[in-house]
Amino acid sequence: MDRSELTQLRILAAKSRLGAVIGTYHAKSGHPGGSLSAADLYTYLYFKEMKVDPAHPDWEDRDRFVLSKGHCCPSLYATLALKGFFDWEELCVLRHIGAMLQGHPDMKKTPGIDMSTGSLGQGISAACGMALAAKLDGKGYRTYTLLGDGEVEEGQVWEAAMFAAHHKLDNLVVMVDQNGLQIDGTVDEVAGIEPLDQKFEAFGFEVFKIDGHDFEQIADALDKAKAVKDKPTAVLMKTVKGKGVSFMENQVGWHGVAPNKEQYELAVAELEAEIKRLEGEC
């Protein structure tokens, strides 16, 4: 990836974060923390990795993305808007009555959303179903799913992991956003999940551990995943919850509350300054 490409991705990621802040502020609710930690991944997936067509969101041969940690949708919505699936203005009515953008992803209401999610642990199973359907039909599309690190405490995740390995779903990439925080505290304090890499390896996955904010590492892991045969891939991404908004970073309290007016203005100012700085690099 050359320097200008990287800068472009960073700008798009900053805009995705801005969208998450705008959306949760106008909704007066939502989940900014995990939205900010996942924004770089969404950006890479939709702008570099996945074959999708915003004009034809239901295109049969598209790559699929299932946001298993459904609550982190505000920045995903922003990324989909940036990609052209719908208008950016939709973010200003996120979670409002009659809105296209629901509190958790709704495949029937929102173009570009491949699966309705929100109840943790369920998205990964649906992703397995999509990957299996591709195998059955001899289609080349790939399926990606993102889980939270708290989410892997759900037993269904491991049922799905066994299923994916048993059926040799090498067209499936399971990513875990390891920001280390869940509602009641740090993941280590609440119900530790480590060693997560060894767990996925034991369940039959090829495992890559990366920095989830480093586009080159994301690119490298997803490229290597394409070469993995006869088993699914897990990409464990070390991330910072609240990434990109200084006062939200690594604060468990920013899991599920919206910024007030003052915090909103501060966050917007930070992100806009970052976008301006990056645009200056171009």
Partner 1 sequence: MAETVLKATRESFGEALCELAKENKDIVVFDADLAAATKTGVFKKAFPERFFDCGIAEENMMGVAAGMAASGKIPVAASFAMFATGRAFEQIRNSIAYPRLNVKIAGSHAGISTGEDGATHQCIEDIAIMRAIPNMVVLNPADHWEMKEATKAAIAYDGPVYIRLGRLAIDSFNDPETYSFEWGRGITLHEGTDVTVVATGLVVNESLKAVRELEAEGISVRLINIHTIKPIDRDIIIKAARETGRIITVEEHNVVGGLADAVCEVITDACPVRVTRIGVQDEFGYSGPAWELLDAFKLTRPHIAQVIRDVVNEK
Indicate the SS3 state at residue 244.
coil
* 121 scored as a contact of partner 1 (CB under 8 A): yes
Nearest distance in Å: CB 197, partner 1: 22
* Crossing angle (nearest 10°) for helices 32-44 and 3-27: 150
Residues within window 208-267 making contact with partner 1, judged by CB under 8 A: none
- Chosen residue from 118, 197, 220, 228 binding partner 1 by CB under 8 A: 118
Q: What is the Cα–Cα distance from 257 to 74, expressed in whole angstroms?
A: 13
130 lies in the site for partner 1, by CB under 8 A: yes
- Residue 25 CB neighbours (<10 A): 24
87: which 2 tokens? 């208008």
Q: Which pair of tokens denotes residue 146?
A: 């993102």
Which stretch in 73-81, 159-167, 257-265, 269-277 sits in contact with partner 1 by CB under 8 A?
159-167
Q: Could you give the 3-state DSSP secondary structure of residue 42?
A: helix
Question: Please, what is the minimum distance in Å from the beta carbon of residue 162 to partner 1?
Answer: 7
Q: Quick one: 4 or 119, whose CB is closer to partner 1? A: 119
Q: Which amino acid is at 29?
A: S
CB nearer to partner 1: give 68 or 179.
68
CA–CA dist 79, 193 (Å, integer): 29
- Complex with partner 1: residue 137 or 223, whichever CB lies closer: 137
CB of 119 vs partner 1, minimal distance in Å: 4
By three-state DSSP, how is residue 101 classified?
coil
Burial 122-139 (b: 16+ CB within 10 A, else e): bbbbbbbebbbebeeeee
Toward partner 1, which CB reaches closer, 161 or 218?
A: 161
| x/- map, 4-43, partner 1, by CB under 8 A | ----------------------------------------
DSSP β-ladder status, 143-148 and 206-211:
unpaired
Contact between 114 and partner 1 (CB under 8 A)?
Answer: yes
Q: What is the 3-state secondary structure (H, E, C) of 204-242?
A: CCEEEEEECCCHHHHHHHHHHHHHCCCCCEEEEEECCCC
- Residue 106 contacts partner 1 per CB under 8 A: yes
Q: Is residue 119 a contact residue for partner 1 (CB under 8 A)?
A: yes
Closer Cβ to partner 1, 136 or 282, answer by number? 136
What residues between 39 and 78 interact with partner 1 by CB under 8 A? Answer: 60, 64, 66
- In the complex, which residues of this chain contact partner 1 (CB under 8 A)? 60, 64, 66, 106-108, 114-119, 121-134, 136-137, 155-156, 159-160, 162-163, 166-167
